[in-house]
């Protein structure tokens, strides 16, 4: 009898744990993750929702579609976010740890002030001006992102990209990262053809900071790209710099210059050591 009671207890306990696990899994999906998706209303809960390939156009003017919504852990791979006629499409949204591989981002300020810490945006194409203005992209994966326009596009102006990976990025939008924080960011092999790409316009804060950043083997061919930027501890080994006036007023300190020497041993500058 005791063994039957024990078996019954174990069985009931196992069922209870299984039901609890199912309930927890269901609870982990946002309450608004219901097809067809509402791609307009603000402040939705879409936690862990699978929304691959959706098009969030921003139907109102200004757009403001899904503003402030929670996409934590959600999947939006291949999505289109914002259009030329929309603005502020996902402003203030929370996309922490979200997957946005291969997204196309148009419209102005589509993800302004959004949180994308540890998000994945590999291979994304950013056309809208100011798409990530003042956004938090700490630790985000932005490998091979493209900013294809050569016109004014401050895509990451005032954004935080500390520890982010932008390896192989192709950046052509002017003032793309002005006043941004890229401390410890990895821009290895990036191709930068924009003007004023990492520039701040004085040494007064805020300034563009690339403290400890890697620009190893990067190609820099715009003009005035790092004016007044803080490159303390940055690594520019093998970087090819062909633009004009790229480092006016830039801060060097223990910076590895393009020729592999240390700015501390070069009179506190990299000028003449791979930088003209």
**Residue 119 to residues 101, 104, 140, 256, Cα–Cα distance (Å):** 9, 15, 5, 29
The better pLDDT of the pair 10, 233 is held by: 233
Confidence of residue 59 (pLDDT cuts 50, 70, 90): low
pTM: 0.88
Q: Using CA atoms, how far apart are residues 206 and 186, in angstroms rounded to an integer? A: 21
User: Which stretches of the chain are DSSP H helices?
Assistant: 2-27
3-state secondary structure of 165: strand
DSSP state of 241: E
pLDDT for 20 beyond 50? no
Phi, psi of 256 (to 5 degrees): -85, 120
Q: What is the pLDDT of residue 41?
A: 92
pLDDT of residue 270: 95
The CA-atom distances, in angstroms, between 214 and each of 135, 257, 259, 267 are 21, 11, 14, 21
Residue 255 has pLDDT above 60, yes or no: yes
Residues 6+ apart with CB under 8 A from 31: 45
Q: Cα separation of 40 and 62, whole Å? A: 12
Residue-level pLDDT at 86:
81
For the segment 74-83, the average pLDDT, to the nearest whole number, is 95
């Amino acid at each position: 009898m005791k063994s039957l009671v024990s078996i019954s207890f174990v069985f009931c306990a196992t069922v209870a744990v299984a039901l609890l696990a199912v309930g927890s899994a269901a609870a982990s999906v946002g309450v608004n993750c219901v097809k067809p998706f509402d791609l307009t209303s603000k402040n939705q809960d879409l936690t862990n929702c699978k929304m691959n390939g959706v098009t969030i156009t921003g139907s109102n003017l200004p757009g403001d579609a899904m503003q402030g919504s929670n996409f934590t852990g959600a999947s939006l791979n291949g999505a289109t976010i914002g259009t030329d006629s929309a603005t502020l499409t996902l402003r203030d949204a929370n996309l922490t740890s979200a997957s946005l591989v291969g997204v196309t981002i148009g419209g102005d300020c589509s993800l302004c002030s959004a949180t994308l810490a540890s998000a994945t945006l590999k291979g994304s194409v950013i056309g809208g001006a100011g798409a990530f203005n003042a956004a938090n992209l700490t630790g985000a994966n932005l490998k091979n992102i493209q900013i294809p326009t050569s016109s004014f596009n401050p895509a990451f102006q005032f954004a935080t990209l500390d520890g982010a990976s932008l390896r192989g990025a192709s950046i052509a939008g002017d003032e793309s990262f002005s006043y941004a924080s890229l401390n410890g960011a990895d821009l290895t092999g990036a191709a930068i053809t924009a003007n004023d790409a990492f520039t701040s316009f004085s040494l007064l804060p805020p300034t563009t900071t690339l403290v400890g950043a890697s620009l190893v083997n990067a190609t820099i061919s715009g003009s005035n790209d790092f004016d007044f930027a803080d490159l303390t501890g940055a690594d520019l080994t093998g970087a090819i710099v062909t633009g004009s006036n790229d480092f006016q007023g830039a801060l060097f300190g223990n910076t590895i210059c393009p020729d592999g020497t240390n700015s501390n041993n070069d009179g506190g500058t990299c000028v003449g050591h791979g930088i003209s």
